[in-house]
Amino acid sequence: MPLSQQFRKPEFKKISDVIWEIPTTFKQGMKVPARIYATKKLIDQMDLQVYDQITNVATLPGIQKYAFCMPDGHSGYGFPIGGVAAFDPNENGVISPGGIGFDINCGMRLVLTNLTFKDVQPHLKTLVNKLFERVPAGVGSTGFVKLTKDQFRKVVEEGAEWCIENGYGWEEDLERTELNGKADWADVSKISSKAIERGFNQIGTLGSGNHYLEVQIVKPENIFDEKLAKKWGLFPNQVVVMFHCGSRGFGHQIGTDYLQTFLPIMERKYGIKILDRELACAPFNSPEGQDYFKAMACGVNMSFANRQVILHRIREVFADVFKQDAEKLGLHMVFDIAHNRASLEEHEVDGKKKKLVVHRKGATGSYPAGREEIPKLYRDDGSPVIIGGSMETGSYLLVGGPNAAETFMSTAHGSGRTMSRTKATKMFRGQQLFNEMLKHGIYVKSVSWAGLAEEAGAAYKNIDDVIEATHLAGISKKVVRFIPVGNIKG
């Protein structure tokens, strides 16, 4: 349990039907209020630790305006999952691994096809089975790209660029990826040998937990912005592929290493006192803070490379099953976007433009049209935002909303859990879940029945409720909803 007070539900100040504020009087040391973006229904579903954690975030040095929690918020390590906070380096603002997550640059990639469900349905089981074979999943899974440790060091400095140069993708993929697939401030000298050891054989793997690869369909009634959907290559009854994964053990080790670096120096060297040791941090401009930022960028690049290689495998499988090359099948990316990263961005605070370190932990960048963070391909539209739901329900493609500046250009990242994985495995049986999903037209391949049970739809909030909250708040707007028909779980 954190070192702060016992968890309790605050008395909220209602700002709107989807914005709830916790004042600085809630907890000693809060520098700014906390704001939760959620409907009343979603607020009532949040565990009390969310409020404790987001108000702990509000005590960190250099924080600007508010500590935010998105509608899919639930308790995490340090920050709640769904947590957003921006820090000013010129006001002793910090960087914290607990505000980024151990799975650095964990994110979503959405891929089009020109196939309809009618084309795919007869081949669905074959398709899912082959994807399961070609994209390793589960704890400890290793990829087909065999790298030496020195080659891996190059990958984590070059990201998806390395993949394209080595034949694992198309040049156009880079312009459809955040940061063009490369955090160019990465410095592998800031990475431990243990992190290299954990990551060098994991390129092209899904991992476990809530990571997945899903075959989905676009039902006509689930297209909310017809003009934008058409412009981005989406059409009724289309089959698309969405997947969710990150930097695996490599990112986890980077987070672990720097937490251990920050803990002994925070107070002694920088005079920083924190309410929860999981919020271990250092001033962004300090040598330690900069080292972590450069190490984090290596995690970012590993994650981009991981998803790029998975896309390469997906294209191979579709070409194999449908006996046409991937280009003729229309397997173009829509976008690759992360939800576990710190970014240095310019934002306006009280009428003044500032360069801030924006932490998004289980939260997605949601940039309205014109922002420099958006690749040129989408800059006139706003950033595509990909939000994954549970394997039983559905997922969404959104676009950056008109009010996103209120949250430092951030929105939700998924459904958000309502129960722990342990509780889910006690409540649900994997094989029974498999049979029920099959009855509903969803074919699943999983590494284990227990892993399947952990991810039961009932263990998550309703994705439609989460998306409706972000839509009503104007921080992201609905474009298309996707329905799962085939799923691969770690």
Taking the C-alpha atoms of residue 222 and residue 396, their distance in angstroms, rounded to an integer, is 9
CA distances from residue 198 to 104, 292, 422 in whole angstroms, order as listed: 14, 18, 25
Query: Structure tokens of 288?
Result: 């330690």
449 by Cβ neighbours in 10 Å (0-12 / 13-18 / 19+) ranks as middle
What is the DSSP annotation of 245-295?
A: E--HHHHHHHHHHHHHHHTTTHHHHH----S-GGG--EETTSHHHHHHHHH
* Cα distances (angstroms) measured from residue 290 to each of 105, 185, 254, 307: 17, 10, 13, 26
Instruction: Give residue 353's region: left, alpha or beta (phi > 0; psi -120 to 50).
Output: beta
Tell me, yes or no, if 123 is annotated catalytic. no
Pairing of strands 239-245, 282-283: unpaired
Distance CA 375, CA 179 (A): 8
Could you say which of 211, 312, 413, 471 is catalytic?
A: 413
**β-strands 364-365, 333-338: how paired?**
unpaired
Q: Are strands 443-446 and 476-489 parallel, antiparallel or unpaired?
A: parallel
Check: CB of residue 391 under 8 Å from CB of residue 212.
Answer: yes
CA–CA dist 118, 114 (Å, integer): 12
DSSP structural state of residue 6: P
Expressed in percent and rounded to 5, the helix, strand and coil fractions of the chain are 40, 25, 35
Residue found under tokens 């037209």: 441
Q: Parallel, antiparallel, or unpaired for β 67-74 and 34-37?
A: parallel
Distance in angstroms (rounded) separating the CA atoms of residues 57 and 231: 39
**Token digits for 333?**
């990316």
Range list of H helices, 40-141: 40-45, 48-57, 117-120, 124-134
Of the candidates 398, 395, 391, 397, the residue with the CA atom closest to the CA atom of residue 442: 391
> Tokens in use for 117?
């469900």
Q: For residue 20, how many C-alpha atoms fall within 13 Å in the half-sphere facing its CB? A: 23
Which of the residues are catalytic? 413
